[in-house]
Chains A and B, each alone.
Chain A
Amino acid sequence: MQGQADGPRRAAESDSDKGRRGRQGAAGQGRHDFFGEFGGRYVAEVLRSPLDELEIAFDEAISDSAFQRELDGVLRDYVGRPTPLIAADRISDQIGGARIYVKQEGLAATGAHKVNNAVGQALLARRMGKSRIIAETGAGQHGVAVAAVCARLGLACDVYMGELDMRRQKPNVFWMERYGARVLPVAGGSATLKDAVNEALRDWSASFEDTHYLLGSVLGPSPFPDMVREFQAVIGRETQAQCAERGIEPAALLACVGGGSNAIGFFSPYLENEGTRLIGVEAGGRGTDPGEHAARMRGLGRPGIVHGYKSLFLLDEDGQVLPTHSVSAGLDYPGIGPQLAHLGRTGRVEFRRATDQEALEALDYFARTEGLLFALESAHGAAAAPAVAMEYSNDQAIVLNMSGRGDKDLFIGARELDREGWKRFLKEEYESL
């Protein structure tokens, strides 16, 4: 997968390009410009130099044992790694088939896997001498993780967030501000996550001298997809070790897919291991019409170039980005990371969809039956688990990544699952203020 097939138009390639395409980072899966036909760095000239600088700094850091030690220390003491792997025995007994295990990423500090990447990139930014961090956020999970990590490292932090998302995710705005971050509302476009990415890119194109853009998923121009994957691969490495301790060889891994960072981080060490099926679950929303879902694979997305990378996106015929919908704000994004788009093409990763309703039911089922509270995003993966388990026998195992815990979804969950009780509570709460 290294580099991209050479075509005639590559004849005029410059020396620096040859250098990049030949380079392998020392750790993990190395560096790619393209994954098959997807990926790349389709950015305005002004972003060229910060991306070059970032790429070099990342390659150096990832092969520096001092950086690795520092990262491991923060992941252990602050994030609380390793996160546990637990058997969902009652559910497995009820539905039969393969035993279901749950990787509890949601027990990481700030409540989701997002913090792994936030810690990695923030340490890198500090090493690069940057004093300010900017980030985009949709649900607010990435924003909260970045704000918290910046507070720990003493970095200034500005988080761009669509105005619509700020209204939908008020609690996370509140927490980001408690961590000392500024939350900057984005009114342009659809006032959601994709527009927050645009605004962060605009900021960075003027501020990169002292500012690092801490992108929250495996997307954007290279080196972001490689870098974010490497910082999230800790999920997969721990899972491998925890499975080995229990003598399990998982038949399948399951994860929800927004941009794809929890999924690719979880899958990463297994990519070469053909014995393990890798299944990504996208947001099926309310249906397959445009604007009703956020599923890019299995025919709904088109090849396109948005946010500096080529991948599959939800686009109209003219390449304009379509609106998306998901009950889980973290999956409500029109594109998918280029590596996952490629792995979907080659068939290495299978994609399924879970609807809003299925995710809500899975959330309820795992909470009642196992005492595990899934984030709505992660509940999309959970929704697909029973059907996958039933394809196997009970001497086999599958592992489900619970990318986040569900506390953050109080407002959305309560509105969907206990509307009347919630209304009464809010009214009383309001009156008591």
Chain B
Amino acid sequence: MSAIGPAGRASLMAHLVAYYPDRESSFHTALGLVDAGVDFLEIQFPFSDPTADGPAIQEACATALETGFTMAGGFQLVGELAQRTDRPIMLMSYAGPVFARGVARFVSEAAERGVAGLIVPDLPLDPQYNEGLFEAARGAGIEAVPVVVAGAPEERVRLVLEWEARYVYVALRRGTTGDQTTLTPEAVAFLDRIRSAGVYTFAGFGVSSREQVEQLGAHADSVVVGSAFVRTVHARKEYGPAQVRNGVYHLAAELVGGPRGPASRNGRRRRGRSRSGLGRL
């Protein structure tokens, strides 16, 4: 499967929390990331009880809810972003808000707003526990992305392959988001195994440096950076949307290996759409 990013390197997926620290800042954060050259945006719709997240994203979710995030507002924001960039938008949330919306409704709203994929870690691929998310997404022409943990038993990998998932998200270690990850030989072997089956592989959890991105990039199609961006937003949130945008822009530019020029639609340069066969592309 062809990579999204430029030849010779893996693509980068940057994670942000909608409405963190407020709606406007999160909108500019997203555009800053796109302008710095990230290939995917992963936008988290906050939940009051994010059990898979570490302290940085927990704090972001709590703040986002305080500053007025609603599901309707979140979809509106995502829709506006999709108008401004060609980069695929992945929508991440928890079973709680997705189920409350109604899975079918959540999926169709996401598809209508131009979302390419859905990541809901506590709705696993197992048919009895996913509330029909995976089939509904496929029916709407987008993809729900199953998660596997590096080192998972073969039967968990088989579940993903049998579903003929287009993407898979490989969590590089146990635990929650945020803590530093060391790439183990076992994780590398696991990534290579998944990728050899032809599934577009996102790899993440605890990635925050250029060195890690390069290391991982040899074994995954796309490297996910989450808490590092969220922490950058946190550090600058008192200084307003422009400073938040600058912060994430510079971190993203460093992670992708130098700025690749503006790519949002009001920018000077736009990269062509990729040919990866991504949901909405």
Q: Are B49 and A306 in contact (CB under 8 A)?
A: yes
Q: Which residues of A contact B30 (CB under 8 A)?
A: none
Q: Which residues of B contact A44 (CB under 8 A)?
A: 51-52, 121-122, 124, 147
**B interface vs A, CB < 8 Å?**
47-52, 54-55, 58-59, 62, 65, 70-71, 94-101, 121-124, 126-130, 132, 135, 146-149, 152-153, 155-156, 158-159, 162-163, 171, 174-176
Q: Which residues of B contact A246 (CB under 8 A)?
A: none
- A188 CA to B49 CA, complexed, in Å: 9
**A25 CB to nearest B CB, Å:** 19
Extra pairs beyond A42-B95, A302-B100 (18, CB < 8 Å): A12-B162, A13-B128, A14-B162, A17-B126, A34-B128, A42-B122, A43-B124, A45-B146, A46-B52, A195-B49, A198-B49, A202-B54, A205-B174, A205-B175, A206-B175, A208-B174, A303-B99, A308-B122
Q: Are A13 and B127 in contact (CB under 8 A)?
A: yes
Fill in one digit per residue for A269-304: 1 if any B CB lies within 8 Å of its CB, else 0.
Answer: 000000000000000000000000000000000111
- A284 CA to B158 CA, complexed, in Å: 48
The 5 residue pairs across chains A and B that have the minimum distance between CB atoms: A319-B100, A206-B175, A305-B95, A44-B121, A319-B97
Q: Which residues of A contact B158 (CB under 8 A)?
A: 14
Q: Which residues of B contact A41 (CB under 8 A)?
A: 129
Given known A45-B148, A46-B171, contact A315–B100 (CB-CB < 8 A): yes
Instruction: Considering the complex, give the chain B residue whose CB is closest to the CB of A21.
Output: B128
Given known A305-B99, A317-B100, A319-B101, contact A188–B55 (CB-CB < 8 A): yes
Interface residues on A, range: 35 or more
**A interface vs B, CB < 8 Å?**
4, 7, 9-17, 21, 33-34, 40-46, 48-49, 188-189, 194-195, 198, 201-202, 205-206, 208, 302-308, 310, 315, 317-321
Q: Are A14 and B126 in contact (CB under 8 A)?
A: yes
- A380 CA to B261 CA, complexed, in Å: 65
- A233 CA to B167 CA, complexed, in Å: 45
- A206 CA to B99 CA, complexed, in Å: 26
21 A-B Cβ contacts within 8 A?
A12-B162, A14-B155, A17-B127, A41-B129, A44-B51, A44-B147, A48-B152, A48-B156, A188-B58, A194-B49, A202-B51, A202-B52, A206-B175, A208-B174, A303-B99, A304-B99, A305-B96, A306-B96, A307-B49, A318-B97, A319-B99
- A315 CA to B101 CA, complexed, in Å: 12
- A19 CA to B127 CA, complexed, in Å: 14
Q: Which residues of B contact A194 (CB under 8 A)?
A: 49
Contact of A9 among B65, B124, B132, B149 (CB under 8 A): B132
**A191 CB to nearest B CB, Å:** 11
Contact of A46 among B95, B98, B149, B153 (CB under 8 A): B149
Q: Which residues of A contact B70 (CB under 8 A)?
A: 318
Instruction: Considering the complex, give the chain B residue whose CB is closest to the CB of A201.
Output: B51
Instruction: Considering the complex, give the chain A residue whose CB is closest to the CB of B93.
Output: A319
- A198 CA to B156 CA, complexed, in Å: 24
- A15 CA to B62 CA, complexed, in Å: 39
Q: Are B127 and A45 in contact (CB under 8 A)?
A: no
**B97 CB to nearest A CB, Å:** 4
Q: Are B152 and A319 in contact (CB under 8 A)?
A: no
Q: Are B128 and A40 in contact (CB under 8 A)?
A: yes
Q: Which residues of A contact B159 (CB under 8 A)?
A: 14
**A44 CB to nearest B CB, Å:** 4
Q: Which residues of A contact B59 (CB under 8 A)?
A: 188
Instruction: Considering the complex, give the chain B residue whose CB is closest to the CB of A10.
Output: B127
**B127 CB to nearest A CB, Å:** 5
- A15 CA to B54 CA, complexed, in Å: 33
